[in-house]
Amino acid sequence: MTMSDGAPKHPYHLVDPSPWPALGALGGFVLMFGFTLGMHPSLLGPGIENFLKSIHWWVLAPGLLIVLATMYWWWKDVIVESRTHHSAVVQIGLRYGMILFIASEVLFFAAFFWAFFDSALYPNAADMPMRSEAVGGVWPPKGVSVIAPFDLPFMNTLILLLSGTTVTWAHHSILEGNKRNAVRGLLLTVLLGACFTAIQAYEYFHAPFGFRDNIYSSTFFMATGFHGFHVLVGTTFLLVCLFRAMDGQFKPTQHFGFEAAAWYWHFVDVVWLFLFFCIYWWGSGHAPIAHH
């Protein structure tokens, strides 16, 4: 709605009809259905497990392509809209939305920490004799050779902490209108994120246990693996911001896209600190085990 002279009557942004929410939901459904068929081939009944295992990639791949295409085109539209429609009031709403999204991510990781602590604190729980027998009543379970916390995990901790300082440097540079330093800070952050991912991939490849070995390995890979996925997403997020900074799209008063990426990256940093202390160090034999 606009006045007779074409000026808007309000500071809010009423978005135009878009196909991306529906298309993204379709892609997400197909993607998860493909994953489900691969992990639980007996889902649709007995006798066709081998067939479903052989075709689940043909379901998963289109879903992934739809999701990636939706992300690209939808976020491209948002970037275009941000140049004209993201007023101060709209930016406040976007900040609240990002805060709520990060809060949901906190609860997401809380589930994995809960699973780990439940098994670590009560490895010989009387009401769960099968788990007690499986882990041998101790944590880490008998026969598990854990990853040394002050080896590659500690190096990755230093890398993420350093990346937190470089992304903050980039933020202050944007606030000061210093495009050159903003680009430098973002470039260093992206490189550090790539280093973290490479080191974690190397660690996984040489891990002394497999995903399905026991409850320790399952909770370890689920928690650290999903965090690694978040690092990959955050690195991609910051890479887009790097290209936008090089193009001069961030202004001291208009750079929410970068702020959202920086908040997300700091969240990833904090989660890793908890993972390093609780799973790598505390859970590798330094945990006080409850005896019941």
137 φψ region: left (φ > 0), alpha (ψ -120 to 50), beta (else): left
Read off the pLDDT of residues 19-31 as tens digits, 9 standing for 90 and up: 999 999 999 999 9
| 1-85, CATH topology level | Helix Hairpins (1.10.287)
For the chain, percent of residues with pLDDT exceeding 70: 89
- Is residue 289 over pLDDT 70? no
> How high is the mean pLDDT of the chain?
85
- pLDDT score recorded for residue 6: 55
Query: What residue type is 137 in one-letter code?
Result: G
Judged by DSSP in three states, 2 sits in strand
Q: What are the residue ranges of CATH 1.10.287.70 in the chain? A: 1-85
Q: Which pairs with CB-CB distance under 8 Å and at least 24 residues apart come from 32-35?
A: 32/63, 33/59, 33/63, 34/58, 34/59, 34/60, 34/61, 34/63, 35/60
Which tokens hold the place of 75?
């976020």
Hey, CA dihedral for 223, 228, 233, 235, is it positive or negative?
Answer: positive
**Mean pLDDT for the stretch of residues 159-164:** 96
CA distance 54 to 34: 11
pLDDT at 131 over 80: no
Phi, psi dihedrals of residue 197, rounded to the nearest 5°: -65, -40
Q: Say which CATH superfamily domain 87-284 falls into.
A: Cytochrome c oxidase, subunit III, four-helix bundle (1.20.120.80)
Most confident residue range from 31-35, 119-123, 174-178, 279-283: 174-178
Q: Which residues contact 18 (CB under 8 A, 6 or more apart)?
A: 74, 77
pLDDT at site 125: 56
| pLDDT value of position 290 | 43
CA dihedral 246, 252, 253, 255 (to 10 degrees): 40
Q: Which residue spans of the chain are classified as CATH 1.20.120.80?
A: 87-284
In this model, does residue 263 exceed pLDDT 90?
A: yes
Q: Write the CB contacts of 226 (distance below 8 Å, at least 6 apart in sequence).
A: 108, 109, 112
pLDDT digits (tens, 9 = 90+) for 39-65: 777 777 777 777 777 787 888 899 999
Task: Give the least confident one: 11-15, 69-73, 122-126, 170-174.
Answer: 122-126
Q: What is the pLDDT of residues 174-214, one digit of tens each?
A: 999 999 999 999 999 999 999 999 999 999 999 888 887 78
Q: Are 173 and 181 in contact (CB under 8 A)?
A: yes
Above 60 in pLDDT, residue 145?
yes
What is the rounded CA–CA span in Å between residue 110 and residue 116?
A: 10
- The CA distance from 141 to 16, in Å, is 56
234 in Cβ contact with 268 (< 8 Å): yes
Q: Is pLDDT above 90 for 225?
A: yes
